[in-house]
Every structure is written in C-alpha cells, then in structure tokens.
A = this chain, B = another copy of it.
Amino acid sequence: MKIKVINPNTTQSMTDKIRAAAEAVAAPATSIVAASPSMGPASIEGHYDEAISVLGVLDEVRRGEDDGCAGYVIACFGDPGLLAAREVARGPVVGIAEAAMHAATFVANQFSIVTTLDRTRDIARRLVHEYGMERRCLSIRATDLSVLDLEIPGGTARKMITEECWRAVKEDRAEAIVLGCAGMADLSVDLGRELGIPVVEGVTTAVKLVETLVSLGLQTSKIGGLAFPLPKSYRGAVEGFAPGR
C-alpha cells in the first residue's frame, strides 16, 4: 500500500527527516510518499501559518487520490486541515498529534506534550480538548525552540528538549512524553532510552495507524460530516480546488 506523508510546511530538510522516520517503521509492503506542498509557509508556528498551510495539504491529498494512495499522514502537530482532508480522501487520514496522543493512552495513564515555541501551546491545548485527552494530558511544555531550530545540525535543540522532558517527568509526574513537532521525528528512540519511559512520536505512529486502518479495510466514512465535498464552483486563485465531479 502507498501511504502519503504530507509535511505541511515547505522546508525540504524537514520533509527528508519525516520520510526517513516514516520509512524506518513502515511495513515491507508499504511504500512511503513523503511530500512537501508546492505552496505554504516555511514552518508552522501559529494559527495563521497553519490556516494557510491547509491549501497545500489539500492539494497533496487531491493529488494522492488521483495517484492511488491508500491513506495519508498529516505531519504537523496541529493536524492542519484534517477534517477537510478526510472529506476529500477515500482512505484514512491521520494527523500526527491525534496519532501520538491516542497511542500514548495505551501505554501510560497520563502524558506531557513537549513542543517548540510557547505560542504553539494554544494549538496543542485545543487538540487535547478536541481529542478527549483532558484527563490524560498533564501539561504542554514549550521550549524556546523555533521549528527550524530543529533543523540545525549540531544545534542545542536535542539538549533543550531532553531537559524539558525531564522536567515533565519530575515536576508534572508524566508517565510518557508526546513529542509536539514533526521536526522531532528523529529524537524519539534516543529520548525513550534516556528517559526510560514511552516517548511517543507522531509521524511514526501515524504511519503505523494508517497501515492498521487500511489493513483492516477501514476507510473514511462517507455518510454525514465527512462525506465528499459537494460539487460547486470556486473562484479566483483557488478555482482549481473546486470539488467538481
């Protein structure tokens, strides 16, 4: 099966890292297509960045449908465009935030999220609520790292994230850590070993969940709130996005 992993931002090094993480866990029969949209922000660090990024995400899902993709991963911790993507896709679409949070509940009673800039905590907080995780999520901890700081080879990002994870364990009594950015996809194994508790990373988890759903024959429900978009005209720069049929 072909799974498309969409990095909603346009930073190629991050897409490469995401691809590597996805391929490392994919089943032999799975082929990973990692995509950066042709349009969008260099990084997503707020509601505005996220809202604009959705266009590129949906463009990639639409291409994926033409291309026979069995399912999709949205590889940004805000799960941008998730519901809209589900309307367009036949197969399952899984966001990395929902993937990581749901998976964490199977191995720990309560987890903390460790993320990048403080301003993104509002996004995580809304998702915690949206996914019914209020009683499972102890805290959302920001570091002072921007998303692109995670791309600097030899930078201090790894050290700062590790320290924040330890604070979550000691101060909040976190039983597991959920990593709050797709740019941390290469850190979970080492972090898990160092901390000695589950460190759940969304990209890898979402890939396995899509494999799971596809292998079980579960596709997106087309009754009700996730039915295919109604055919209609769109105007201007987004004309090509019209769900004609």
Contacts and interface: CB of A to CB of B under 8 A. Distances in A.
Contacts of A216: 25, 103, 200-201, 204-205, 208
Contact of A208 (B87, B198, B212): B212
A221 interface: yes
Interface string A22-49: 0001010000000001111111011111
A167 interface: no
| A: interface residue count bin | 35 or more
Interface string A42-58: 11011111111011101
Contacts of A198: 218-221
A15 interface: no
B81 A213 contact: no
Interface of A: 10, 25, 27, 37-43, 45-52, 54-56, 58, 81, 83-84, 86-88, 92-94, 98, 102-103, 105-110, 118-119, 121-123, 126, 129-136, 146, 169, 173, 175-176, 189, 192, 196-198, 200-201, 204-205, 208-209, 211-213, 215-227, 229-230, 232-239, 241-243
27 contacts: A10-B234, A27-B27, A38-B236, A40-B234, A42-B232, A42-B235, A43-B232, A48-B88, A48-B229, A48-B243, A49-B243, A50-B84, A51-B54, A51-B81, A52-B55, A52-B234, A98-B105, A103-B218, A107-B218, A108-B221, A109-B226, A123-B225, A132-B135, A132-B136, A175-B224, A200-B216, A208-B212
